[in-house]
Amino acid sequence: MRTAFYISDGTAITSEVFGHALLSLFEQDFDHITIPFIENPEKAHNVKNQINARYKTTGERPLVFHTFVDNEIRHIIEQCDGACFDFLNHYAAPLSDELGVAAKPKTHRTHSIHEKTYDFRIDAINYSLANDDGANLKDYDEADIILVGVSRSGKTPTSLYLALQYGIKAANYPITEEDLVDTKLPKPLQPHKKKLFGLTISPERLHQIRDHRRANSRYSSLRQCRIEVREVEMLLKKEKIPFLNSTHLSVEEISAKILAETSLKRHKY
């Protein structure tokens, strides 16, 4: 199996994102190794030796995705026996020419605590944790969005991802059997209808997820899942609340689709 290294003098998040995006184009498996905070020549030499050792062991050149600000450290890594892909410096020069401004590289700038949006994201995470699963209904005025749907349709992970990645205050509310008795929106949601966004899921997938949580229960039965999904989808359509099906989507894809449809402001950069 081919090895892919993601290395940087910072968090290596950019290297991972860049590398994974490229490797996703190829239908084969890779052994992924991430090494952050290579901040001095000694660490760089150790990583270089690790890459070289992997080449000797496997007989295949490791793929090395890296983002280094320090030229000395970058030079050491690029002397390894792997195939190196440098994202930052490949694009820095042409971008500098286009902007007419010289680049001023600085370690840890991309994912540091000094980001202008950092406080937005921390506040949003705290909000989403406090307003998960309908636990706290009094703070919905502060919400940027309120995700609704049947239990286990992906509301919690999506709320947390929106908060962590984009600084969006996302609450979520599970619509239960009790809420569906009179085919109306639950009272706590009615004043915030414009903030609502629904997540639905196939009954079969919902049955699988719930069965892991409460096996052989009425809650997890396929019949119950079909009833709840059907009723909630009818309610969302009746109330003209936008929704999407999360069955075959990752949390990243769900979040991206929500942002595209709602035009919520991102606090990422």
**Percentage above 90 pLDDT, the chain:** 74
Q: Show which of 39, 71, 99 is a domain's final residue.
A: 99
Rounded CA separation 122/143 (Å): 14
Considering the domain architecture, whether residues 257 and 173 belong to the same structural domain is answered as yes
182: in domain? yes
What pLDDT, on the 0 to 100 scale, is given for residue 120?
Answer: 81
pLDDT per position as a tens digit, 25-37: 999 999 999 999 9
pLDDT at 71 over 60: yes
Q: 22 and 62 in contact (C-beta within 8 Å)?
A: no
Confidence band, pLDDT 50/70/90 cuts, at residue 265 = confident
Query: Higher confidence at residue 239 or residue 100?
Result: 239
CATH number, domain containing residue 211: 3.40.50
Considering the domain architecture, whether residues 247 and 126 belong to the same structural domain is answered as yes
267: in domain? no
Considering the domain architecture, whether residues 95 and 133 belong to the same structural domain is answered as no
| Overall average pLDDT of the 119-131 stretch | 91
pLDDT per position as a tens digit, 128-149: 999 999 988 999 999 999 999 9
Rounded CA separation 257/7 (Å): 30
Number of domains in the chain: 2
Considering the domain architecture, whether residues 127 and 184 belong to the same structural domain is answered as yes
What does the angle CA 198 – CA 203 – CA 208 come to, to the nearest 5 degrees?
Answer: 110
Alpha-helical (H) ranges within the chain are 13-23, 41-58, 71-78, 87-99, 118-130, 155-166, 203-213, 222-238, 251-262
For residue 253, the enclosing domain spans 118-262
What pLDDT, on the 0 to 100 scale, is given for residue 141?
Answer: 95
159: in domain? yes
